[in-house]
Amino acid sequence: MQFSFTDEQEAFRLSVRRFMEDKSPTTEVRKLMATPEGYDPAVWRQMSQELGLTGIHIPERYGGQGFGFIELCMVMEEMGRAVFCAPYFSNVLAATAILEAGTESQKQALLPALADGSRLATLATTEAPANWSAETTETTAEQNDSGFRLNGSKTLVVDGHTADLLIVLARSPGTSGAYGLSLFTVAGDSVSRRLLNSLDETRKLAQIEFDNTPAELLGELHGAGITMPRILDQAAVALASESVGGAQKMLDSALEYAQMRMQFGRPIGSFQAIKHKCADLLLEVELAKSTAYYAAAAVTENTQDLPAVASLAKACSCDTYMKAAQECLQIHGGIGFTWENDTHLYFKRAKSSQVFLGDPNYHRDQLVLRWEA
């Protein structure tokens, strides 16, 4: 595996970072997170049509940029640094599901609109109580002469309140476990949906109800038992990449404050206790980056250890992000706990990312099971 980025990739990263710094300062994030939609349509169009970020990992034959999963993770990392407020991750989830499960004709029909950002989509798999295993799905898909009808509910659906297209996991009646699971496409305006009150206001979550809702099969009937694990693994790796971006930002913020905050006539960064905090955090952030980069390469090269390293990256990166946010708060002292200070934005994103798609304990358990397998 290649563990260093090319000059072209680094230039690409720099262009994304500059865009985030210009279009997503925390002042703008605070404005957007207070709105129901949670994003700026003008910025969304610019990043979609001028930078092509919404189609970064979608092949060119489907209207995308044709880059790989590594470049996607670089984008996620930079968005994590900026705690970017937009339906990007949800579109990534949906596009990944279509790429993995859809037929060729479905990919041709659905992906171009996601690639150019003209259509918002998301993946709906989780049900209450929050359980991240696809095998516990209870939403049913009944087939009749007119097609499929879905009944049930999904929760913690990222940007589900604004999505035009929903990719929904459901099972055939009378089935259990991995058998009987299928993915379906559902029009966003055909369901009952409600915006949830969540800790992290920069990432909107929704509750969605299906009541005899018409749906179209995505891919093969009962094929999701095979495709869903890989879809969720890729989602975990993408979220891990976002988390290392946020962790790096928290480390940078802590170092900057430690150098400028004076106490007893000297910067607090000169005190041994603060030095040790920052040094330990640097090691953990670099370790998290290594696991996330390795997992991104595993997705690209489709290695056999992907299931294990995806869980490793998710657990390590999210734990590190949470610790980085906590240490940043401590180094800032009292001012770090104020609403005016930006640290709480990252702290809340760290906590929401830590539990989304399974918390670190869940993924450590999965790591053991997958490694033994």
**201 within some domain:** yes
**170 within some domain:** yes
Does one domain contain both 58 and 162? Answer: no
Does one domain contain both 25 and 53? Answer: yes
Does one domain contain both 350 and 240? Answer: yes
Does one domain contain both 241 and 367? Answer: yes
CATH number at residue 365: 1.20.140.10
> Hey, is 108 helix, strand or coil?
helix
Does one domain contain both 177 and 235? Answer: no
Does one domain contain both 230 and 342? Answer: yes
What's the total number of domains in the chain?
Answer: 3
Does one domain contain both 366 and 231? Answer: yes
| Helices within 102-223 (DSSP H only) | 104-115
Put residue 21 in one of left, alpha, beta given phi > 0 → left and psi -120 to 50 → alpha: alpha
Q: Which of 70, 100, 115 is the last residue of a domain?
A: 115
Does one domain contain both 297 and 283? Answer: yes
Does one domain contain both 363 and 248? Answer: yes
Does one domain contain both 250 and 163? Answer: no
Which residue has tokens 């090319």? 6
What separation in angstroms does the CA of 23 have from each of 19, 40, 43, 65, 85? 6, 10, 7, 21, 10
Phi, psi of 324 (to 5 degrees): -60, -40
Give me 253's structure tokens: 């913020």
Which residue has tokens 């659906």? 157
| pTM strictly above 0.85 | yes
Does one domain contain both 126 and 73? Answer: no
From the list 49, 98, 88, 69, the residue with the least C-alpha distance to 9 is 69
Domain of 349 in residue numbering reads as 226-372
Does one domain contain both 163 and 85? Answer: no
- pLDDT one digit per residue (tens) for the chain, 373 residues: 567 899 999 999 999 999 999 999 999 999 999 999 999 999 999 999 999 999 999 999 999 999 999 999 999 999 999 999 999 999 999 999 999 999 999 999 999 999 999 999 999 999 976 678 899 999 999 998 889 999 999 999 999 999 999 999 999 999 999 999 999 999 999 999 999 999 999 999 999 999 999 999 999 999 999 999 999 999 999 999 999 999 999 999 988 987 787 688 787 666 778 888 889 999 999 999 999 999 999 999 999 999 999 999 999 999 999 999 999 999 888 888 888 899 999 999 999 999 999 999 999 999 998 887 6
**195 within some domain:** yes
Contacts of 209 (CB under 8 A, 6+ apart): 153, 191, 192, 193
Whole-number Å distance between alpha carbons of 358 and 115:
28
**How many CB atoms are closer than 10 A to CB 14?**
11
